[in-house]
Amino acid sequence: MKLVKTATLCLGLLAAMLSVSVFAEIVVIIKADNPATTLERKEVSRIFLGRSKSFPGGGAAVPVNQGADSSVKATFEQELLGKSQSQMKAYWAKLSFSGRGSAPDPVGGDSAVVAKVGSDAEAIGYVDASAINSTVKVIYRL
């Protein structure tokens, strides 16, 4: 009985370690020729929560969201914004109802975000690091 419990515990720990290594790095991106170079966590959070509409050095910042079924979106919201997807829905519903803001429109997955951000100097988005190309640059890493 003790051996079964020990084996179960070991398998659980192994599964937890493997699941952590499966998560890819999420990066926040802007157009490659945008003059901004880096952002702090708080600045990224303020933009994606609708509390700031510009980059710290000036220039409009328009957040680009991933689709609702995106695991990258779920991780980004939980890790950077500290909110689950249901909490984010409630947050945006409250702001929308009060007339103080609305959620950024989702554009799809990583490739759609890279395409949008790479063609719009005001756009800021988040993707799996493996999706970036020369049209965008990383300004924050989760």
Establish if 43 belongs to a structural domain: yes
53, amino acid identity: K
* CA angle at 112 for the pair 106 and 116, rounded to the nearest 5°: 85
**Cα–Cα distance, 30 to 125 (Å, whole number):** 7
pLDDT at 17: 46
Q: Is position 94 within any domain?
A: yes
User: pLDDT tens across 53-89, in order?
Assistant: 999 888 999 999 999 899 999 999 999 999 999 999 9
The answer to the question of residue 131 being in a domain is yes
**Is residue 90 in some structural domain?**
yes
Amino acid at 60: A
Write down the pTM of the prediction: 0.82
76 occurs within a structural domain: yes
The domain in which residue 108 lies consists of 25-141
Is 14 a member of any domain? no
Domain count, the chain: 1
Q: Which helix (H) or strand (E) holds 31?
A: strand 26-31
Rounded-to-integer distance, Cα 109 and Cα 131, Å: 10
For 88-107, the pLDDT digits (tens) are 999 999 999 988 888 898 99
Q: Reply yes or no on whether the pLDDT at 1 is more than 50.
A: yes
Whichever domain contains 127, its CATH number is 3.40.190.10
Mean of per-residue pLDDT scores for the chain? 87
Check if the beta carbon of residue 137 is closer than 8 Å to that of residue 82: no
108, 10 Cβ separation under 8 angstroms = no
- Sign (positive or negative) of CA dihedral 10, 11, 16, 20: positive
